[in-house]
Amino acid sequence: MNLPRPLRTAAAPALLTATALLALTACGSSEADSGSGAGGTVDIRIPDPGNSGVLALGKKDGSLDKALAKAGAKVRWTGSAGPFAPAAQAMNADQLDIATGSITSGITSLAQRPGFKFFTAVDPDAAGEGILVKNGSGIGSVADLVGKKVAVNQGGTGEYLLLKALAKAGIPAEKVKRVYLRPDQTAAVFNAGKVDAWAVWATYAVAEIGSGKAHFVADGAAIGSDNYSLNAVRTRFAEQHPGVVKALYRYLHDASAKEKQDPAAYLNVFTDAGPTAVTGKSKEVQTAFTRKGGTVDAIGPKDVERFEDVAGFYAEQKVTPGKVDVATHLLDIEKLK
From first to last of its 337 residues, the chain has per-residue pLDDT tens of 333 343 333 333 222 333 333 334 334 444 444 555 555 899 999 999 999 999 999 999 999 999 999 999 999 999 877 788 889 999 999 999 999 999 999 999 998 889 999 999 999 999 999 999 999 999 999 999 999 999 999 999 999 999 999 999 999 999 999 999 999 999 999 999 999 999 999 999 999 999 999 999 999 999 999 999 999 999 999 999 999 999 999 999 999 999 999 999 999 999 999 999 999 999 999 999 999 999 999 999 999 999 999 999 999 999 999 999 999 999 999 888 7
Which residue, among 237, 232, 231, has the nearest Cα to 295 in the 3D structure?
231
DSSP characters over 223-284: HT----EEEEEEHHHHHH-HHHHHHHHHHHHHHHHHHHH-GGGGSSSS-SSSTT---HHHHH
Q: Is 79 helix (H, G, I), strand (E, B) or coil?
A: strand
Question: How far apart (Å, rounded) are the C-alpha atoms in residues 15 and 153?
Answer: 10
Residue 216 φ/ψ, nearest 5 degrees: -80, 125
pLDDT, residue 111, reads: 86
Residues 104-133: tens digit of each pLDDT: 999 999 988 899 999 999 999 999 999 999
For the chain, the residue count is 337
Compute the chain's Rg from CA coordinates: 19
Residues 318-336: tens digit of each pLDDT: 999 999 999 999 999 988 8
pLDDT, residue 82, reads: 77
The per-residue b/e assignment along 184-222, b for 16 or more CB within 10 angstroms, e otherwise, is eebbeebeeeebbbbbbbbbbbbbbbbeeebbbbbbbeb
Question: How far apart (Å, rounded) are the C-alpha atoms in residues 245 and 237?
Answer: 8
Q: Is 138 helix (H, G, I), strand (E, B) or coil?
A: coil
- What pairing do the DSSP bridges indicate for beta strands 214-219 and 130-134? antiparallel
Type of residue at 220: G
Task: Give the predicted TM-score (pTM) of the model.
Answer: 0.86
For residue 167, what is the enclosing H or E element? helix 157-168
pLDDT, residue 34, reads: 53
pLDDT, residue 31, reads: 42
- Count Cβ atoms within 10 A of the Cβ of residue 138 and give its class: 0-12 exposed, 13-18 middle, 19 or more buried: exposed
For residue 43, what is the enclosing H or E element? strand 42-48
pLDDT, residue 37, reads: 52
pLDDT, residue 2, reads: 36
Question: How far apart (Å, rounded) are the C-alpha atoms in residues 66 and 85?
Answer: 30
Positive or negative, the Cα torsion across 248, 250, 255, 261? positive
List Cβ neighbours of 162 (8 Å cut-off, separation of 6 or more). 131, 150, 152, 176, 178, 199
Question: How far apart (Å, rounded) are the C-alpha atoms in residues 307 and 12?
Answer: 20
pLDDT, residue 33, reads: 46
